[in-house]
């Protein structure tokens, strides 16, 4: 069975959490495509050529620093490079149409990578809520950055992701918009699961 769930949305909206939960619920494979760009960004920050950095190994994807705020900013920068997006395109498309079903979350899954996906979700939340989540992930009051700085970084990244010329972040025309600003994790996952279940019959 080939069945693709495409989940897009801005940083810290909850798409990764929802993607993992949906994949587990239905026994689908899961790919956090942002991790690919974080790994490329980390290699570029260390001096690698952006396109050459797209030759990723399992070790590149297992780095312990890929969830840092710095890696997120680096990912957003390299994702704006058309050659990087092209180099990672085929890998993502093959993963999406694998036998057994797949869930991919990222910025352009439903619009560019998998426009034929059986289910498309656009997971979003207000910039203030997303910044608060990211700040809490970083340690809250003990975080190395004040909330205002995290909010500014979220707004900056949104502008870069939505304003890039190649595959800008936006919902697919047939995507279900899932605003998690006032939803619990369980509520958001339940809505996503319901959408997949409805499409599968």
Identify the CATH number of the domain in which residue 51 sits: 3.40.50.300
Domain count, the chain: 1
Whether residue 163 is annotated as binding a ligand: the answer is: no
Q: What pLDDT does 165 receive? A: 85
Domain of 59, in residue numbers? 4-200
pLDDT tens per residue, range 65-107: 998 878 888 988 998 898 998 899 988 999 999 999 999 999 9
Whether residue 10 is annotated as binding a ligand: the answer is: yes
4-8 and 119-124 strand pairing? parallel
Whether residue 9 is annotated as binding a ligand: the answer is: yes
Q: What pLDDT does 167 receive? A: 86
Whether residue 198 is annotated as binding a ligand: the answer is: no
Is it the case that residue 201 has pLDDT exceeding 80?
no
Q: What pLDDT does 68 receive? A: 85
Whether residue 165 is annotated as binding a ligand: the answer is: no
Nearest to 72 by CA among 114, 32, 20: 32
- Per-residue tokens: 103: 């869930």
d(CA 153, CA 156): 5
Strands lying side by side in the sheet with 102-106 = 29-32, 102-106, 4-8, 119-124, 176-179
Q: What pLDDT does 199 receive? A: 95
Is it the case that residue 177 has pLDDT exceeding 90?
yes
Q: What pLDDT does 146 receive? A: 95
Q: What pLDDT does 176 receive? A: 97
Whether residue 12 is annotated as binding a ligand: the answer is: yes
Whether residue 15 is annotated as binding a ligand: the answer is: yes
Unique residue bearing structure tokens 């975080």: 143
Whether residue 132 is annotated as binding a ligand: the answer is: no
- Per-residue tokens: 200: 């599968």
Whether residue 175 is annotated as binding a ligand: the answer is: no
54 pLDDT band, cuts 50/70/90, is very high
Identify the residue with better confidence: 123 or 58.
123
């Amino acid at each position: 069975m080939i069945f693709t769930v495409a989940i897009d949305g801005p940083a810290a909206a909850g798409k990764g959490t929802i993607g993992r939960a949906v994949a587990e619920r239905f026994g689908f494979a899961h790919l956090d495509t942002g991790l690919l760009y974080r790994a490329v960004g980390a290699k570029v920050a260390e001096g690698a050529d952006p396109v050459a950095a797209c030759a990723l190994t399992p070790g590149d994807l297992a780095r312990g620093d890929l969830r840092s705020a710095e890696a997120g900013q680096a990912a957003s920068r390299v994702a704006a490079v058309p050659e990087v997006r092209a180099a990672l395109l085929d890998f993502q498309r093959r993963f999406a149409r694998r036998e057994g079903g797949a869930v991919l979350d990222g910025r352009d899954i439903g619009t560019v990578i998998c426009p034929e996906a059986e289910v498309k979700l656009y997971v979003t939340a207000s910039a203030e809520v997303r910044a608060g989540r990211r700040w809490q992930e970083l340690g809250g009051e003990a975080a190395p950055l004040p909330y205002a700085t995290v909010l500014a970084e979220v707004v900056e990244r949104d502008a870069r992701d939505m304003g890039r010329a190649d595959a800008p972040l936006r919902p697919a025309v047939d995507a279900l918009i899932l605003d998690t600003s006032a939803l619990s994790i369980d509520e958001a996952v339940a809505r996503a699961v319901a959408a997949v279940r409805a499409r599968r019959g």
